[in-house]
Structure 1
Amino acid sequence: MNKVPFTTIGEARRWASLFLREHGREVRVADLLLEDMLNLSFSRLLAYEHDSFPETVRSSFIQAIEDHAETGVPVQHLIGKASFYGREFTVNKDVLIPRPETEELVLGTIERIQSKSQLQAPVIADLGTGSGIIAVTLKLEHPASQLIATDLSTDALEIAKRNAEALEADVTFSQGDFLEPVKQQPIDVLVSNPPYISRAEVLQDTVKNFDPELALFAEDDGVAAYQTIIDQIVRFELSPWLIAFEIGHEQGDAVKAIIETRLPDYRVEIKQDINRRDRMIFAELV
């Protein structure tokens, strides 16, 4: 392992990038690992490329690159954290790795809350919170709001609580199936990135082998979680002003139909992400 031929930071970066490319992996993983292990920003990584590579992290860097190339283990699992909405969150095998599409869901939710002038201190429920990225971000971006978050996984909730504490976000966490633990709580905004992948869908190994199955897959071609949440809204006689869902890019019409059938007083909008794929549902009470 230690015979890998590099002596400077720049040489290490070039070796790792080439190694990853040859194995069909994203070369950006090399930079993310170097930034974390050397405690350098990307710009400083480039500025110090002629500096000697520290021997103290040489073996662990090479091992991480080889492990990712061989197995596809996400770089976020290797370094134990991921970026979301400009902040660092702890992640591990018990939670989904944050995706850029979820940032768009959060942004769209914030914009709609801010447009509702009479909603100064909304109660926001994040269902299936996972690592807590949505709940924590919404609380920090809209401090006057009251955040409650639920998840079926106790392991995921431990990570979410750790993230909330580290980022000093006041979020109340409860264990249970979507709205079940908070069914007595009036809710103004309901937001969720639930499991929405059909079991028939073919996934990359970086996803299927490392993201928790509970957070990925849903029955009925991936729409079962939305059906459950909408059924709970009806059964618990809740009437959130806003319902915000992340969806699979082929599920827009199906999820829209579920909401319109069960909640006829809502105006439902399908929104596309930056890649022009259906990715979000926003339903407002009219």
Structure 2
Amino acid sequence: MTVFEALKWASSFLEKYGREASAAEWLIKHELNVSRTELLLQMQDQMPDFASFEAKINQHASGIPVQHIVGKEEFYGRTFRVNHHVLVPRPETEELVEGILSRAKRLFPNPEKATIADIGTGSGAIAISLALELQNQNVTAVDISQEALEVAKENACQLDASISFLHGDLLQPLQGQTFDIVVSNPPYISEEEYATLDPLVRDHEPIRALVGGEDGYVLYRRLAEGLPELISSPGLIGFEVGEKQARTVAAMLEASFGERIQVEVVKDISGKERMVFGIVT
């Protein structure tokens, strides 16, 4: 069987099971360890190990995310290791990173020296991206999951990012400190919504990284209540939020900070209100 024939079979097979046909190309590139350009040049070559590729296709058809099969995901131009202990980084979260970067460069004379905290770091994608983009060595990443922290530490080591990792619940490990920038993409799915998620997500990504309590706002409430003691002046806060949550989360920050904060709700590339930024004075 040629590479072309293997890819054609895999695409049709996945579509039959309700999966995206594009996953076949992702998996065959991983199997052959080639770029897309190299794949196109090898289409008429013999498939070296069809059985191994077939096994990966069957795994994805059965409901295992592609990222867990290949053990990695791309985020902000870098490759991050992922597994079932962490949420797979989403493209939308890259927009949160971009929003923090642009505002940090406007707000702070020396953003490379700003102190940054990433709450609920998961794979470390946000913290590591900010550290590397800003050439900043003052980044602290917190997670309640020790297993997630191990993944994040491995990613930081692999990408040569200087990060301080702390194990604990939300802001608790940071008590007594202050930060110029606090960023978080906390769990924000309600318990009711969780039951309706795509099985690729619901059955394979950690529930602790997805569900934000009965109504999806539990962690935002706790963050909003605790941040006035943690954020410097001037300071920058950035949250990713679920669809239709932005205005409520913005109101939480305004209630906690009063006139000290200027809150901005920002739409993502799809036109959905998915980010909330606050500038503290």
When normalised by structure 2's length, the TM-score is: 0.95
Instruction: Provide Cα deviations, 1:11-48, integer angstroms capped at 9, x if missing partner.
Output: 11111011111111011111111111101001111121
Deviation at 1:182, TM superposition (A): 1.4
> What secondary structure, in the 3-state scheme, does the structure 2 residue paired with 1:112 have?
helix
Task: Pick closer, same or farther for the CA change 1:9–1:24 going to 2, 3 Å.
Answer: same
Instruction: Provide Cα deviations, 1:97-156, integer angstroms capped at 9, x if missing partner.
Output: 010100000011101111124243100100000000000111110013510000000000
User: What is the distance in 1 between the residues matched to 2:80 and 2:22?
Assistant: 19
Q: Which residue of 2 aligns with 1:4?
A: none
Matches of residues 100-249 of structure 1 in structure 2 within 5 Å?
100-120=91-111, 121-201=113-193, 202-234=196-228, 236=229, 238-239=231-232, 241-249=235-243
User: What is the distance in 2 between the residues matched to 1:149 and 1:127?
Assistant: 6
| Unpaired stretches in structure 1, ≥5 consecutive residues | 1-6
| Unpaired stretches in structure 2, ≥5 consecutive residues | none
When normalised by structure 1's length, the TM-score is: 0.94
Q: CA RMSD in A?
A: 1.2
Aligned residues: 276
Pick aligned residue for 1:94 from 85, 90, 94: 85
Instruction: Provide Cα deviations, 1:158-185, integer angstroms capped at 9, x if missing partner.
Output: 0000000000000000000111111222
Q: Which shows bigger deviation, 177-186 or 7-16?
A: 177-186
User: What is the distance in 1 between the residues matched to 2:154 and 2:47?
Assistant: 33
Contact kept, 8 Å, 1:244 with 1:283, in 2: the verdict is yes
Contact kept, 8 Å, 2:117 with 2:139, in 1: the verdict is yes
Contact kept, 8 Å, 2:137 with 2:162, in 1: the verdict is no
Task: Pick closer, same or farther for the CA change 1:237–1:185 going to 2, 3 Å.
Answer: closer
Contact kept, 8 Å, 2:120 with 2:184, in 1: the verdict is yes
Instruction: Provide Cα deviations, 1:199-218, integer angstroms capped at 9, x if missing partner.
Output: 11120001100110000001
Matches of residues 49-88 of structure 1 in structure 2 within 5 Å?
49-55=43-49, 58-70=50-62, 72-88=63-79
> What secondary structure, in the 3-state scheme, does the structure 2 residue paired with 1:239 have?
strand
Deviation at 1:238, TM superposition (A): 3.6
Contact kept, 8 Å, 2:180 with 2:231, in 1: the verdict is no
* Matched residue type, 2:165: F
User: What is the distance in 1 between the residues matched to 2:30 and 2:85?
Assistant: 21
